[in-house]
Amino acid sequence: MNLNLSDSDNRQNGLSIENEFLAPASVFREYDIRGLANSEITDGFAKCLGLALGEFALSRNQQTFFVGRDARLSSPSLAESLCTGLESAGCHVLSLGEVTTPILNFAIDRDLSCKSGVMVTASHNAAAYNGFKIIIGGEVISGRELQKLKSALKPNGFPFKTSTPRITKDIISQYSQRIVGDSCIDRPFNLVIDAGNSVAGPIAVDLFKRLGCSVEPLYCDVDGSFPNHEPNPSDEKNLQDLIAKVISTGADLGFAFDGDGDRLVVISASGSIVWPDKLMMIFARDLLGQTPGGDVVFDVKSTMRLKELIIEYKGLPTICKTGHSHIRKAVRDQNALIGGEFSGHIFFNDRWGGFDDGLYAGMRLLEVLCQQYNGGIKTLDEIVSEFKASSYSPEILVPVAEDEKFALMAKLQNNCIFNGAKIVRLDGMRVEYSGGWGLVRASNTTPNLTLRFEADDHIQLEKIKTQFRKQLGPFINHLEDYI
């Protein structure tokens, strides 16, 4: 990238030079860019990113970008600054406004002339954060490609053209119509929807009403400060109000969406949390019943029962690193029927575009619940009860400094010994025993190590936890407070 224009050259070209603050390297994560808004993720950084990204895309013959943003208070100005940078590179911008990430993906999937886009979002993170999810040529930019983009940023100032009017696209109604047209739901459901005051709220309420559901909104008004709880349905404390509302209203289901609408966690009529790996079991059984021999992709945090079910129904199981970009790539590379991860990203690739969409996954669950089983309809609780039981922990987060977590994970991998176990090192360490498993990995989105455990019964579960305390304890202070 030749960005070393002199001040006089820039003035002659009608450009202005801004020596903007660039974000720390840590905001370039494994599968997106994410950090604290207004200090790490600034308007100046967004402009620099837009220009570097624009030239990066042009080198791949991609000239047009869809740009969307979530409801965070910092998102409008960051999106505007990003667009200025993209336009300064010579790219065209199609602004989608305030939308979910799946709507951005939907726009890219259906538009033959524009296969690139940027979503301004920090997904499930707290209101103080923001970031960018990037797609170029239909592919999520992650890992090494993000590092290449980072190296293209120059700290000594970029030339920026005066922002020009850009095209605005409103495709929310087209997105909803596409899902309604794809659906096969023949009975009404009573739903409670908790969007955590995210952008997903009004879109989800409208969609499920169109699908014939009676909807009780909970925190579905948009407020980018997220006043009621963080938009993270993976954290049980963020689900308590939804559970209470489902029980008090006698609803059939509760749907919880994250900050940009690409994740789903479900509450059953009994108030039980149905984690996404259990949803994957429901979807995999349904899809493999129609297409035996199909591929199903899942992440290292998922239940061992999912792999067992895939094999039972003559499918091909593929375990994958955690992260929406990794799952999405594996689904597309293998032309899998579906992919999913424990955090709630579910990728349908049979009738949908192979991207993660919490709202679409909710519709597909309603379809399954409409099916007849020996002349009768089963509730979600009844369907889940058919699966082989296990004892398991929630996702456990152990705080570790952002700049230390990967080094600590490497130390654990080099020093911990688990006799009699198979260790899968695809993403951290998944330590597999005959009757269960334990996982430790560095989170790519938060300053934590992530742990999870599952076993055939509670006794086996405690044995595995004991082994982890013994092996990890010398390297992690107060580990016993967490496991």
Catalytic residues: 34, 123, 345
> How far apart (Å, rounded) are the C-alpha atoms in residues 257 and 220?
10
| Strands 264-268 and 391-392, sheet pairing | unpaired
397: tokens are: 């987060």
Helical spans, DSSP H, in 6-100:
7-12, 43-58, 75-88
DSSP per-residue letters across 441-457: EE-SSSSEEEEEEEESS
- Neighbouring C-beta atoms of residue 169, cutoff 10 Å: 18
- Which residue(s) pair with 257 in the sheet? 264
419: tokens are: 């006799």
> How far apart (Å, rounded) are the C-alpha atoms in residues 258 and 196?
7
> How far apart (Å, rounded) are the C-alpha atoms in residues 166 and 162?
12
- Contacts with 197 (C-beta within 8 Å, 6 or more apart), sequence order: 71, 219, 220, 221, 222, 223, 224, 225, 226, 227, 228, 231
